Structure 1
Amino acid sequence: MKDILRSLKSIWKLILLLLLTALAFCYAMFQGGFVSWFLFYAFLPFAVYSILLAVYPLQTFRAARTLSKDQFSAGEILKGEITLERPFPFPLIYIIAEECLPSGLKQTAADQPARKLFILGFRRKAVFTYTVQSMKRGEHHFSRIRIKTGDLLGLFEKEVTMKTDKTILVYPTAFSMGYRHSKPQYEQGASASSQRYIKDTTMASGIREYQPGDRMAWIDWKATAKRDSFMTKEFEQTRTHDAMLIMDQQASDSFEPMITFTASLAKAIIKTGAPLGFILLGTELDTTPVQPGEKQLQTIFRKLARVNPEPSSASFSIWEERMASQGGYRSSNLFIVSVLTMELVRKLEHRASYSDLKLYFIRKKNQLLTQEEEVLLDRLNKRGIAAEAVSEGFFDQALEEVKSL
């Protein structure tokens, strides 16, 4: 409907322009004299140009977008370049080119504008750059570049929007923090699992014959002297501490700080070499299996970049059922929430005896706890579930020591 109205409006303006030209000619014919003909010939170029512009296909322009990179961290600067080209050099007095930024990206006064005025003339190519500072976390879709032009009389204004799809991912900010477990777990007496093991060279559990590749520091010289052959110490094997991050997606004022804390905690755990899993409690249960390494961290960061607030009651029930069917996870379960309710506390209490649980309650900077929230945190701690409130700006203090429950 809008296109039809725009076409009718253009036709009406063209008829009006032709009518004005005819009136100017009739005035010159009947009035005669230098002034009347001068007015007619002075008006004629503007009229002819406006008519030609009315039929000029602005759709012949081709637009290309180049961005500095495809993946960013929150707070980084995006630099974009727009290139406009056309095959036919029609004399355009001006064009206004504009990058239609995604709704999640906002420019500030310090940015180079994403809109530029060109006195194009006969040139076939125009290029301009823009910046976006302090980008917000999320997945941002660039889809349109708009160009606009018009005539000197202001009768005809032409506009065309060109589709050029591009998607960038802005990862959440992650602070550097320390992470460690206070109690190692040893292979002896532990149940079988798929977890990795590493040697604890501080605890010798026996001796064996020397094998190629053993370090000289591991040789037991007393046993070697007794047996007249090289004997090597055997050590306890320490089980790596698997961790499972479980983040609640309920909407709150502290949702973005919670994303930042989760990213920082994930980075700290992966940095220790410990395997890590990730669960999002949203409309559905989104599970990332436990894995070690940087590739796992990138997977978690991609999910954190795209995550949006969602109700989580249904997926929490699914998590409970899975916990019950598996008899609890062997991994330490680290809950990260920005909304603390009695329902959540009761569910955690019910599962406290089946798994190691710890809860981080994330608050915005300078946001105080309510009396109800203080009572709920105290209740969890009394039931053996380590629970603490973490304020934005003090995330590093929350990870000075993560105890094995």
Structure 2
Amino acid sequence: MIKTKKMLDISGRFLFVLGVLALTFVFAMFQGGKVSWTIFYSLLPFVMYSTFLFFYPFSEIKVKRSIRSANSQNSGKFLVTLSLKRKSRFPLLYTAVTEKWAEDDVALLAGGPFKRLFLFGFRKEIEWQYEIEQMPRGEHLLEGVVVEVSDFFGWLRKTKLIDARDTILVFPKMIDLHYVPFDTQYDRGTLVSLLNIVKDTTMVTGVRGYQPGDRVTWIHWKSFARTQTLMTKEFEDRRSQELLLLLDGRVSATFEEQVELTASILKEASSHQAELALMTTGLETSLFPAIQSEEQLHQALVHLAKIKPSEAEKTVSLVDFGTEFQHGGGIVLITAQPDWPFMQSVLRTAKNARSIICFVVMKGTGTTSIEVENAIQLARSEGVIVHVLGKEQFREAFKEVAGQ
């Protein structure tokens, strides 16, 4: 339908141009005189150019796009270079080039449409470069380039969308957190913690005297053969941390800050060899049960780059993820709305969690509302550790928890 409308539009414009030429010719034939024929012959070159332009094939124009920041971070600079090439030297006059994005919001960030007017002339190639100062987080699609060419008087205009698709992935901005494990739990310990100390039986650091309860497999038999005294191998302690990050996917004023905090924790915790998992709620519940390799971390960050908030009434209830942490571990919940129905669903499905830490992300250092304060007090009464954070407090968030 759209193609038909465009064809009718340009055909109508071309018939108009021919009609103007025919009208001046009839006028010259009946009127006669030098002035009448001067008008006709003066108009003839412009009509001929419009005719050639009507039949000019846009298919010979090729677009090449060079993106300097294809995988940038939120609020980072984004630089694009467009190059238009063609084979012939047919003179093109007023040529408007427009970059077509699937999202109109991106054009608003640039201060207007991505449009540039060129006098192509006889050149075979033109180049255009533009920049977006602060690219928003998300997956953005470049659909192509719209090329519009006009004749001298704007009587004839040809427009074509040249397909040149590119996908731009902008990751959430990641902050360098001062990551501190909360408390320590040893093999025989009684502390509730996210951090477990286990024995790495592949790393023997020495021997000690046998104590009742030591495993038989830990006995150093060579020492026993020499001294006839039971000795037990000592192993290197290896820290491991089972940690689930749970991102509240409901719409909030601080949703972008919540995503940034989640991505920052993922990055820092993975560098501390934590056994990580990520869950996000929203229109769909997404779970990344094991984030141990660089590839798995990248997949989780890609998900955080694409995630969009959902309305509260459309948010899917949490699934039962307790079995994922049946051997212990803890949950870090990141939200802006610690309302009781949501917190209750977390508590109900996290029965195996050793502890739950809730980071409530607020704008600036403003005070929380009475509803939020009541929800926080109710969550604390159920054993949830709650901390209210502004963006400027993200770096020290774990130090505050570890200090408790």
| TM-score w.r.t. length of structure 1 | 0.82
Q: Deviations over 1:112-169 (max 9, x none)?
A: x832222112222222111111111101111111100111122111100011111121
Residue 327 of structure 1 and its aligned partner are, at CA, apart by: 7.8
Please tell me whether the aligned partners of residues 181 and 401 of structure 1 are also in contact (alpha carbons under 8 angstroms): no
Bigger Cα displacement from structure 2, 134-143 vs 25-34: 25-34
Please tell me whether the aligned partners of residues 281 and 318 of structure 2 are also in contact (alpha carbons under 8 angstroms): no
The residue aligned with 1:15 is 15
AA aligned opposite 2:396: Q
AA aligned opposite 1:63: V
The residue aligned with 1:215 is none
Residue 170 of structure 1 and its aligned partner are, at CA, apart by: 0.5
Distance 1:285 1:12, change over 3 A: closer
Residue 181 of structure 1 and its aligned partner are, at CA, apart by: 2.2
Residue 171 of structure 1 and its aligned partner are, at CA, apart by: 0.5
Distance 1:10 1:239, change over 3 A: closer
The residue aligned with 2:98 is 98
Please tell me whether the aligned partners of residues 291 and 297 of structure 2 are also in contact (alpha carbons under 8 angstroms): no
Q: Does 1:379 align with 2:375?
A: no
The residue aligned with 2:217 is none
The residue aligned with 1:217 is none
Please tell me whether the aligned partners of residues 180 and 401 of structure 1 are also in contact (alpha carbons under 8 angstroms): no
Over the matched positions of the two proteins, sequence identity in percent amounts to: 25
**SS of residue matched to 2:120:** coil
Residue 315 of structure 1 and its aligned partner are, at CA, apart by: 4.7
The residue aligned with 1:144 is 144
Bigger Cα displacement from structure 2, 346-355 vs 138-147: 346-355
The residue aligned with 1:347 is 345
**SS of residue matched to 2:185:** coil
AA aligned opposite 1:375: N
AA aligned opposite 2:397: A
Residue 392 of structure 1 and its aligned partner are, at CA, apart by: 2.6
**SS of residue matched to 2:274:** coil
Unaligned runs of 5+ in 1: 209-222
The count of corresponding residues between Structure 1 and Structure 2 is: 378
Distance 1:328 1:72 in 2: 37
Distance 1:394 1:68 in 2: 32
AA aligned opposite 1:335: L
The residue aligned with 1:332 is 330
Distance 1:342 1:232 in 2: 51
**Pairing 1:4-403 to 2, within 5 Å after superposition:** 4-103=4-103, 104-106=105-107, 114-188=114-188, 197=198, 207=208, 234-235=234-235, 237-310=237-310, 315-319=316-320, 322-323=321-322, 328=326, 330-350=328-348, 354-355=352-353, 356-403=355-402
Please tell me whether the aligned partners of residues 184 and 238 of structure 1 are also in contact (alpha carbons under 8 angstroms): no
Please tell me whether the aligned partners of residues 251 and 310 of structure 1 are also in contact (alpha carbons under 8 angstroms): yes
Distance 1:379 1:10, change over 3 A: closer
Distance 1:326 1:9, change over 3 A: closer
Residue 79 of structure 1 and its aligned partner are, at CA, apart by: 1.3
Q: Deviations over 1:38-96 (max 9, x none)?
A: 22211111111112212222233121211114211112211111111222322212211
Distance 1:254 1:277 in 2: 22
Please tell me whether the aligned partners of residues 147 and 159 of structure 1 are also in contact (alpha carbons under 8 angstroms): yes
**SS of residue matched to 2:135:** coil
**SS of residue matched to 2:344:** helix
The residue aligned with 2:193 is none
Distance 1:364 1:151, change over 3 A: same
Stretches (4+) displaced over 6 A: none
Residue 366 of structure 1 and its aligned partner are, at CA, apart by: 4.4
| TM-score w.r.t. length of structure 2 | 0.82
Please tell me whether the aligned partners of residues 145 and 161 of structure 1 are also in contact (alpha carbons under 8 angstroms): yes
**SS of residue matched to 2:79:** strand
AA aligned opposite 2:377: D
Distance 1:363 1:3 in 2: 50
Residue 234 of structure 1 and its aligned partner are, at CA, apart by: 2.2
Unaligned runs of 5+ in 2: 191-195, 210-222
AA aligned opposite 1:56: Y
Distance 1:246 1:376 in 2: 18
Residue 235 of structure 1 and its aligned partner are, at CA, apart by: 4.8
Q: Deviations over 1:153-196 (max 9, x none)?
A: 22111100011111121100111111222422223579xxxx88
Bigger Cα displacement from structure 2, 350-359 vs 262-271: 350-359
Distance 1:12 1:143, change over 3 A: closer
